[in-house]
Structure 1
Amino acid sequence: MADGPDGRGRVVAAATDGACSGNPGPGGWGALIRFEDGSVEEFGGADPATTNNRMELQAALATLQRLAELPLHPDLTLRTDSKYLIDGLGSWMAGWKRKGWRTAAGKPVLNQDLWQALDQARLAEVPLRYVKGHSGDPDNDRVDQIAVAYSKGRKQAPPSPSPSSGSSKSSGSAKAAPHQASVDPAPVSLQKLLTRMELADRLASGGYALTAVELAQLVEQPLNRLSERQGSWRWRDWLVEPVGSDRWRLRRDPSGSKQT
């Protein structure tokens, strides 16, 4: 593990999201970055009069600026559910710049200030990766919670960096809707575990291979611990098998024995 200045290692995962009530209206943005030692850093911000798209751009801008200060894992991607952000940076920006920051229709590009700042802050070694919003992706769900909290004017900051991703994520659960107040839900930690196990089952059924970074996110173990694994090993109801090139595949454990 390549240590950063504070011993947390490299950044292995990053996610951002934006939220807005009214669009335009009060908005917020949230961001999350994970380190090799399993620690998590979360941050966010608010704007009293903005749009959802501006919050998505602001979240990515703040995250890229933060990543520029840190050691990065070569497999790092910035995960976002904003196709506006991905298409803007990946497809549209070159044309906007050629036309003097005007669209194909000749109109000024909206949110030009943020797009120009993103153009300066982008990191060639950190590609954007689309993740469908509200699809059970734990990091996307967490940054959505942070963004919504800020958009609703909550004064408290997101959880401070913690020694393990599990403790950090469990502290930011969303409040239940008013009509659900009388329901006694399962603890948030169990709800998140179920989400991860359901995802593991889909990955195993589909035969998908995971990078070490992705596997570390799924099983919530530090990347350096996974690098020490030799051969196949068990995680709960699944066998985790190496498939070469630093990739792993999940398979249902027929013996039914469980080991984390």
Structure 2
Amino acid sequence: MPTQSIIQSIYTDGACTGNPGPGGWGLVVYFSDGSVHEMGDSSRYTTNNKMEMQAAIAALEFFANSGQTQPITLYTDSEYLINCVTKWIHGWKKKGWKKSDGNPVQNQDLLEILDQLNNQLIKWQHVRGHSGNIGNERCDVIARSFANGQIPSLQQLTSPVNTDRTSTKINEVNVTKVSDSAINSTKVNENNAESSTFSSDITTMELSTVSETTTNEEKPHETRILQLRNLVETLQIADEIADKGYLITSSELADLMDIHASAVTSRGDQWRWRNWIVSRVRREGNQILWELERGDQVEAENE
């Protein structure tokens, strides 16, 4: 990176097919001189939230390794990630990484790394997913390409900034506990050099076909059991949201369902998802708030 180039902003995103299932993350770094640096990686078995966190970790590591002292804005479409890092983490640490209900906080290992890397130079900024924002859309393409087993062409800078994810102790933790990745960033860069000319057509890249994912029957028994446990955990979270009457945003609902945020709003004002009736309640600013109700309870009340 030229000495006069200053990092202005970094966009991050994570993706997962199955949630849990194969995942990927991507980030795009924008510099003051107009140059761009892109990174990403994959994980064989993970969750969407883990990939969102991994992308943010990679962004913070890149910024730390740059030695820059000017502040930057870090953009993400995950309100959950922003709340974790800027709000909830302080209380969790005081309570010994326990939630208000006494249960352990999920993804503590990743949150500890994020907390270690975060500093006053980072301005966390939420951006609406799939709303036409170029940085967010590009990160989504990178993340989903990796999640689908593809290796996208990435714009890379020839710079002294250390972008090797395995270069520090923190990165070693990420590789062993999070990514378990079959393709590390170094291999990605080598493959990119040999790949065909980069296509800027996001739609084409997003719609390109990939080989079929291994069926559940072909997966090890332990993996299938872990998938079921994670599914039950997701359903328990949905049940708690419904039971407590919590209202959640479109992006939070999309994270819960493992779908695009745009797919939430396109379904209308009321629809069914698994055991719950999902209803649009109201709009607060730019956010649409949704309510979950147990379908069996609604049906019983209507009888």
- SS at 2:136 equivalent: helix
Sequence identity percentage:
41
Q: TM-score, normalised by structure 1?
A: 0.60
Q: Does 1:123 align with 2:153?
A: no
Question: Is this contact kept in 2: 1:20–1:27, CA < 8 A?
Answer: yes
Are the aligned partners of 2:9 and 2:74 in contact in 1 as well (CA < 8 Å)?
Answer: yes
Q: Secondary structure at the match of 1:77?
A: strand
**CA-atom RMSD in angstroms:** 2.5
Counterparts of residues 40-189 of structure 1 (less than 5 Å): 40-70=36-66, 72=68, 74=70, 76-156=72-152, 158-161=154-157, 170=200, 174-175=204-205, 177=207
What CA distance in whole angstroms lies between the structure 1 residues aligned with 2:8 and 2:54? 21
For structure 1, the residue ranges without an aligned partner over 5 or more in a row are: 179-260
CA distance in 2, matches of 1:97, 1:176: 39
Q: Following TM superposition, by how much is the alpha carbon of 1:16 offset from its aligned partner in structure 2, in angstroms?
A: 0.1
Distance 1:15 1:46, change over 3 A: same
CA contact (8 A) 2:69 2:121 kept: no
User: Per the alignment, do residues 139 and 8 of structure 1 end up closer, same or farther by CA in structure 2, a change over 3 Å counting?
Assistant: farther
Q: 1:92-121: CA deviations, max 9, x gaps?
A: 001100110111111111011100010101
CA displacement at 1:29 relative to structure 2: 0.2
- In 1, the alpha carbon distance for the partners of 2:10 and 2:199 equals 14
C-alpha offsets along residues 139-167 of structure 1, whole Å, 9 cap, x if unaligned?
A: 000011100011011135523239xxxx9
CA contact (8 A) 1:28 1:151 kept: yes
Q: 1:11 to 1:177 in 2, by over 3 A?
A: closer
TM score, norm. by length of structure 2 = 0.52
- Number of corresponding residues: 171
Greater helix fraction, Structure 1 or Structure 2: 2
Matched AA of 1:154: Q
Judge conservation of contact 2:145–2:206 (CA < 8 Å) in 1.
no
Q: State the Cα deviation string for residues 215-243 of structure 1 (Å, max 9, x = none).
A: xxxxxxxxxxxxxxxxxxxxxxxxxxxxx
Q: What stretches of structure 2 of length at least 5 have no aligned partner?
A: 159-196, 209-303
> Whole-Å Cα distance in 1 between the matches of residues 28 and 117 of structure 2?
17
In the TM superposition, residue 70 of structure 1 has moved relative to its aligned partner by: 1.9
What is the identity, as a one-letter code, of the residue corresponding to 1:84? Y
Following TM superposition, by how much is the alpha carbon of 1:54 offset from its aligned partner in structure 2, in angstroms? 0.3
Assess if the C-alpha contact under 8 Å between 1:8 and 1:35 holds in 2. Answer: no
